[in-house]
Amino acid sequence: MTPIPGEPLGDMITRLDGSGFSHSAIALADGEGRVASAHMSFCRTRPFDLGGIRGDDVSHFWALGQSVYRLPVDPEVPREPALARLETWRTPEDDGTFSVPKLVIVAIALATFAPELDPVRALEVRQLAVEAARAWEGVPERRQFYCAELITRLYDQPFAMSTLEPTDPQRPAPGPPVQEGMLDSLLVRTLGWLTDDDLQAPYDRLLAAVERAMPTFLDQAAVDILLSPFVRTGGPALQQGRRSPRPRPDDGSAERLPFGLVTPRMLLDAPWTADHVDLVQGPGAPPPPF
């Protein structure tokens, strides 16, 4: 896991989700210090590369100024099936795509917990976000993922719906408040282009509700998404990480959260991950942030 300080898209998730991490990966079994994760390409020379399930050396993240942390998984949760699923979803011919629409759904769902929102409208938006995420749930063969979703799918460890609510206060976006304007229309059109036709209807219902309940949210999201391939400002070091893990429901009766709404915070607090994170160090690693 890694924080991405100063990168707008990573900061959007961090400030809404409440933990210090915004990216998740799975260690590969090659013994070479490589990890696999779903991420944008962030390559200015390939503007139409939508990313995918990419394998990277840990040094790739260090070169970007990111500290990398290892979050151990409970030994009772085997890695072999997770790595086998990874091989079926990441092939030499097609490594899928990084799903910006899914990430926007997550951000919307998290934003509905802001205390200043009208609770009735916030609940409506949250329910529509769950509906939209469920629409994507049954199509993993399309290999459209974002990072935390991919890890949770690989390990096949669902979360309860109650884990969606952030446990830490949400931070406002940096800089002056974004005004309602044309950027939201640009984002909606872009998301429509990136969304398959059979998934468009629940997405349209969600975005319409967002416009009513949170008029400037899509404008701010557009700024974060459009700037992410180009902007890294350094940002603050990691300040928050692991908290108290949430217990697993005993009887399995709790409503399940769609995989497409999982966040790094949930992985940190999962009952199947360790109660600590370990800073990965080596030649070229940034200095410890603490």
pLDDT in tens, 90-129: 877 777 788 888 888 999 999 999 988 999 999 999 999 9
Biggest CA-to-CA distance, the chain: 52
- At residue 83 the predicted structure's pLDDT band, cuts being 50, 70 and 90, is very high
Answer whether residue 145 shows pLDDT above 50.
yes
- At residue 240 the predicted structure's pLDDT band, cuts being 50, 70 and 90, is very low
Q: For the chain, where are the alpha helices, taking DSSP H only?
A: 8-17, 58-63, 80-89, 100-111, 119-137, 147-155, 183-194, 200-213, 217-227, 264-269
Residue labelled with tokens 């070169």: 63
Measure the CA–CA gap between 56 and 61, rounded to whole angstroms.
8
Cα dihedral sign, 245-250-256-258: positive
Chain centroid to CA 103: how far?
A: 6
Q: Among residues 210, 175, 164, which one has the least CA distance to residue 191?
A: 210
Q: Given this model, what pLDDT does residue 130 score?
A: 96
pTM of the model: 0.83
Measure the CA–CA gap between 97 and 146, rounded to whole angstroms.
9
Give the pLDDT confidence of 114-125 residue by residue, as tens digits.
Answer: 988 999 999 999
Residue 178 main-chain phi, psi, to 5 deg: -80, 135
- Look at residue 45 and give its three-state secondary structure: coil
